[in-house]
Amino acid sequence: MTQTTSLQYEAPWPVYALDWCKSAAPGQSIRPRSAFRLGIASLTEDYRNRIAIVGLQDERVLVEDDYTEYPDFVTLVEAQHGYPATRLQWQPSTANSFAWSQKASSAELLATTGDALRVWEYSSDGAAAVSAYVGRQVSGGGHKLTLKTALSGQSKVQNNNTGAPLTSFSWNEKSPSLIVTSSIDTTCTVWNIDTSTAITQLIAHDREVYDVAWLPGSTDIFVSVGADGSLRAFDLRSLEHSTILYETPAPKNMPPPTSSPSSSARPPTSPLLRIAFNPADSNYMSTFHMDGTEVQILDMRSPGQPVMELKAHKAQVNALGWSSTDSQLLATAGDDCQLLLWELAPHTQAPAASPRNASTGLSSPRPDVKKRVLQDPWAAYTGAAEIANLAWSPHIASMTMNTGHTTAAGEWIAIAMGKSIKALKV
What pLDDT score was predicted for residue 4? 84
Pick the range with the lowest mean pLDDT from 2-16, 89-103, 240-254, 378-392.
240-254
Give the residue with greater pLDDT, 402 vs 10: 10
The pLDDT of residue 267 is above 90: no
329, 339 Cβ separation under 8 angstroms = no
Classify burial at 278, counting beta carbons within 10 Å of its beta carbon; exposed 0-12, middle 13-18, buried 19 or more. buried
Q: Is the pLDDT of residue 97 over 60?
A: yes
- pLDDT tens per residue, range 252-262: 666 655 544 44
CA angle 324/173/219 to nearest 5° reads 125
pLDDT for 362 equals: 44
Beta strand 372-374 pairing with 308-311: parallel
Alpha-carbon gap, residue 301 to 283, rounded angstroms: 7
Q: Residue 133: which pLDDT band, with cuts at 50, 70 and 90?
A: very low
The mean pLDDT value of the chain amounts to 85
- Averaged pLDDT, 163-173: 94
Please answer whether residues 60 and 91 qualify as being in contact, where contact means their C-beta atoms are separated by less than 8 angstroms.
no
Query: DSSP label at 41?
Result: E
**What is the structure's pLDDT at 211?**
97
310-341 tens-digit pLDDT: 999 999 999 999 999 888 899 999 999 999 99
Name the percent of the chain lying above pLDDT 90. Answer: 63
Residue 263's pLDDT band, with cuts at 50, 70 and 90, is very low
Q: Given pLDDT bands bounded at 50, 70 and 90, which one contains residue 349? A: low
Q: Which residues pair with 214 in a beta bridge?
A: 222
How far lies 419's CA from each of 193, 424, 426, in Å? 31, 16, 22
Rounded alpha-carbon distances, angstroms, from residue 321 to 15, 291, 346:
17, 18, 18
How sure is the predictor about 354, in pLDDT bands with cuts at 50, 70 and 90? Answer: very low
Q: Percent of the chain scored above 70 by pLDDT? A: 82
Q: What is the mean pLDDT of residues 91-114?
A: 90
Q: pLDDT confidence of 140, banded at 50, 70, 90?
A: very low
Q: Say whether pLDDT at 145 is over 60.
A: yes
Least confident window among 39-43, 130-134, 421-425: 130-134
d(CA 341, CA 323): 10
In this predicted structure, what is the pLDDT of residue 68?
64
pLDDT value at 157 more than 60: no
The mean pLDDT of 169-187, rounded to a whole number, is: 96
In a 3-state reduction of DSSP, which class is residue 96? helix
Q: What local confidence, expressed as pLDDT, does residue 355 receive?
A: 38
Question: Of 37-51, 74-88, 124-138, 293-307, which gets the smallest average pLDDT?
Answer: 124-138
Are the C-beta atoms of residues 413 and 339 closer than 8 Å to each other? yes
For residue 150, the model assigns a pLDDT of 94
> What average pLDDT does range 106-132 have in this prediction?
79
Nearest to 18 by CA among 424, 413, 426, 425: 413
pLDDT greater than 50 at residue 352 = no
Whether 105 shows a pLDDT value over 90: the answer reads: no
Q: What is the mean pLDDT of residues 165-183?
A: 96
Highest mean pLDDT range out of 63-67, 123-127, 367-371, 405-409?
405-409
User: Residue 128: pLDDT band by 50, 70, 90 thresholds?
Assistant: very low
- Rounded to an integer, the average pLDDT of 38-58 is 93
Task: Please write the tens of the pLDDT for every residue from 198-249.
Answer: 999 999 999 999 999 999 999 999 999 999 999 999 999 998 889 999 998 7
Q: Please say if the pLDDT value at position 281 is more than 90.
A: yes
